[in-house]
Structure 1
């Protein structure tokens, strides 16, 4: 308790110094923390949520989501209008608005560099370049852009550099500002991906100038540029001085919180971005992240840590002492899926033979998800019946499955039936061939991960299965997972688009090493995935999604845990903050009330 009070006092002193500096020079700074470190800043190479959030602020995708509109709505970002789409959804014509410029950089030799349609064609091609090892390539491969897969195969086979100069059938530059994308899938939901940071415009000169260091040198046309960076510690984004004229014109729904409606009216017509700088700290542990917000060192906190929900929001209501301070909360269902995957190519837990399927299903049945929700998540989650998350088209609230069942008796019976018994009398189960049965689970060193590891330990001890833990930082586990070198790992998947397809991709065979961490590859599932792509939303597509969910439960490449419920909190001087699940770069729409900040500093 004394240590906690001392830390709180120190944080309050530090925050007072920050307030004084902000008030003195008039600079508006938005400060908060990520709970997981970034991996870099290149749209073609990053795939984790936090790095994608950063790239969304620096690089402009062609489309974007209206910040406050509900239901979610797409609108032009760098385009002069919404894309022109053919009746079969196979041809997409993008017309870039003239007069948009990249941030100044040495790569441009002192000249202003205008955004053109060729920059979007280049950004797409970069995902096919084997050098970049894109974790998002599966999206474009699923769309089927003629000519690009062939270029990729040639580069991989020959070992020569990817041929960016060669024209391809799927990407046509009609003029300086017009790009036509031809796809073979005819997927009406391809439109969503045109708002994703993976398609942020990248200048070829910048990539060639920085070469292998491009992950450290992001240069885009977005509202922000990288000001300072200490890897896995601190990221500073500065307002891009060359950012085009964009003004706040967001319309909240009529039934929105009156405060939000009033703040939107107050901000209307102001030039974006509204603050001068965004400072992001990497704080993996829950306690210092919460105390930083509580002391005022942070202007907001994303996802109030589960350990502190009882004091911050008892019974899911803002605590009276926080409400008295003017702190605000925004509680919402996250469109995500938290799971533990089994590596399907691993000799211990992988494979499609009945014994291996029985092992995975037994492990899943032996894990008590209710305890996770109650003890680790503190009630801030709901059980996951499948990989499809709430808040996305295709989610079926009536779908129930074995994925979340807890039955250790049934689990033990399955293992006994398929020969996973104690053969040497040491008290632990062995494999059917008599070799030791040992599960290796990858995890991280933070507090919540340790609690989840304890639940896994108890569950496997009860089943008499040995389990050991491979502990590493999250970016390292991600890299190792993509290489197919982990047996099991607990990982979450956040929706990039408001549709089930983003989650269905977790089991699509060709996505191995990308979205498909388990490397599940079942022909029947793959065929259904391709079939649903062509269909509009409706009963037929929903039926196929249901079949895919049942296949994933039957073979259990993923043990589903929960869909999380998040609560964000903001200080009273933060204006206009509202969670948009699919717009990563919310910073440009948020302002700081310097008068309230000065009063907080004075008190």
Structure 2
């Protein structure tokens, strides 16, 4: 058989999963990225010590590369983890043709990378707060002496006890440090040093997939990692979860990953993305809001789609959308009363009910605070001013604090200078709908708007650098604990998770206290105080929690939307014969 014929034969039998992202990725170095799309790809290439059961709800933590659960001692100040021997990185030239085993030193090195000033990691602030003894001092030494970060220097709180045993020692009690152990990946130092600034294009992990073709903001291909260890499908769905039990019965015992390739197309516009799904070119899709009435009328799958064997799932997402205000911007930022009044007036002038009805087609619920559903600290029945639409009160606030209308009808700053809200946005159709609603809301208040249009990855980069005034975005929970969401208000996280660059000592104190407390009434009271401060100063206007309506093709088996974890593609199966028969 010729080489081309052999390739055609493999293509005819391989299992291909086809998906789409609605925005472009930024790269594939987990230490440097902060966007959902890049992190999702990384989660299938790299592996953390712990992960989550694919079917258990609300969640169940399980070892991934660890050999058993960690040993926590000294009131959760010392955590010891044993890594399972015999796990190997994917082949790469960085290893000189030799198989490279994953060791405890790889996780120690990876954790240190978040502290290396060179990488400007958005994850640094949250990991710093875990209080690993001696690690931040190593970072400060590099900054002070203007020398490279010393990865070989001993660190009291991060010790490799032997080839497969890693130990963390923390300054304070951290009852939920287990979630951190499920956050950071195992990376090989040789790979980082070989590729340097090009590392984001060369992800090399121990996970089920490796990066194949990559056309930036266009196509991402993942291929089965040929060296991935023997692992079969296992899960623990709830006893009363009929859907989960059926998935387990269909897939139990299959070797992972089940599919051979994953192709992710970047399709920013909703209409072509939805048509690609309807035409059988995508295996899975969230239903865009503008097509909800046709696809899922009154919450029921449309007969024509049901006849084709499509399946529907609806869930309220573990997410929140928000409008970010740059707290360092001279017009919109700061803690002065008139600046707070301007942001709160904007918040009161945002018509969330209309956004949900008109733009989102009913596929969202108003957010009362910044915590995501399904996470600790979220209160389902909470009602706050955050969701109020009160243009009369907004007008009164602006008048009271000196934002008077000029002869042209637009409001001016209290010092008499012109006032224009510069709002970052994207060029796709759904963004244009949000922009139209924003302009209508702000016009009613007499606030002039200018839109700054750009690609989503570039807007994120500008936001992290503090170069945007206002931007609308969403955030998904990455762990079961709501404190992760509150990091967007934590001062030391400015430029990372804290895109608004909000800095308030009172908030930072509350944030630090809740990290050391066990779950319970005292910690929940701190969550409420943190929410109160964010709503009072309004570095963000929290908008909605989105309802996800997912449709899958009849040939796809195993899909169940994750609550907050990102890896799932290795658990999905595609019946290629059935797909082919469907044309």
TM norm. shorter chain > 0.5: yes
Change (3 A) 1:485 1:22: farther
Shift of 1:251: 2.5
Shift of 1:24: 6.4
TM-score, normalisation: structure 1: 0.94
Partner of 2:500: 518
Structure 1 position 549 matched with structure 2 position 534: no
Structure 1 position 89 matched with structure 2 position 76: yes
Structure 1 position 311 matched with structure 2 position 294: yes
Distance, in Å, in 2 between the alignment partners of 1:195 and 1:24 is: 35
Partner of 1:527: 509
- Contact 2:20-2:273 at 8 Å conserved across structures: yes
Partner of 2:250: 266
Shift of 1:158: 2.8
Distance, in Å, in 2 between the alignment partners of 1:161 and 1:235 is: 33
- Contact 1:223-1:588 at 8 Å conserved across structures: yes
Partner of 1:214: 199
Partner of 1:276: 260
Alignment deviations for residues 455-483 of structure 1 (CA, whole Å, 9 cap, x no partner)? 11111111111111111111101111111
Partner of 1:254: 239
**3-state DSSP of counterpart to 2:321:** strand
TM-score, normalisation: structure 2: 0.97
Structure 1, 80-89 or 93-102: larger mean CA deviation? 80-89
Shift of 1:23: 9.2
> How large is the Cα RMSD of the aligned pairs?
1.4
Shift of 1:426: 2.0
Distance, in Å, in 2 between the alignment partners of 1:255 and 1:379 is: 29
Distance, in Å, in 2 between the alignment partners of 1:380 and 1:95 is: 44
Partner of 1:573: 555
Alignment deviations for residues 56-86 of structure 1 (CA, whole Å, 9 cap, x no partner)? 0000100010000112000100011111111
Shift of 1:398: 2.7
Partner of 2:57: 70
Of 339, 343, 368 in structure 2, the residue corresponding to residue 356 of structure 1 is 339
Distance, in Å, in 2 between the alignment partners of 1:550 and 1:113 is: 50
- Contact 1:100-1:221 at 8 Å conserved across structures: yes
Shift of 1:539: 1.1
- Structure 1 unaligned runs (5+)? 1-20
Structure 1 position 231 matched with structure 2 position 216: yes
Shift of 1:491: 1.3
**3-state DSSP of counterpart to 1:172:** strand
- Contact 1:104-1:110 at 8 Å conserved across structures: yes
- Spell out the pairing of 1:478-489 with structure 2 (5 A cutoff): 478-489=460-471
Partner of 2:397: 414
**3-state DSSP of counterpart to 2:114:** helix
Of 350, 368, 387 in structure 2, the residue corresponding to residue 385 of structure 1 is 368
**3-state DSSP of counterpart to 1:582:** coil
Of 311, 318, 329 in structure 2, the residue corresponding to residue 328 of structure 1 is 311
- Contact 2:514-2:523 at 8 Å conserved across structures: yes
Alignment deviations for residues 315-342 of structure 1 (CA, whole Å, 9 cap, x no partner)? 1211111011000111111111100011
Partner of 1:495: 477
**3-state DSSP of counterpart to 1:310:** helix
Partner of 1:134: 121
Partner of 2:385: 402
- Contact 1:22-1:28 at 8 Å conserved across structures: no
Distance, in Å, in 2 between the alignment partners of 1:431 and 1:598 is: 63
- Structure 2 unaligned runs (5+)? 1-7
Distance, in Å, in 1 between the alignment partners of 2:190 and 2:568 is: 28
Shift of 1:503: 1.1
- Contact 2:318-2:564 at 8 Å conserved across structures: no
Alignment deviations for residues 228-281 of structure 1 (CA, whole Å, 9 cap, x no partner)? 1001000110000000011111122122234x4233112111111101000100
Structure 1, 382-391 or 23-32: larger mean CA deviation? 23-32
**3-state DSSP of counterpart to 1:143:** coil
Distance, in Å, in 2 between the alignment partners of 1:263 and 1:598 is: 22
Q: Runs (4+) of structure 1 moved beyond 6 Å? A: 21-24
Q: Paired residues, what number?
A: 577
Shift of 1:188: 1.2
Partner of 1:13: none
**3-state DSSP of counterpart to 1:61:** coil
- Contact 1:23-1:594 at 8 Å conserved across structures: no
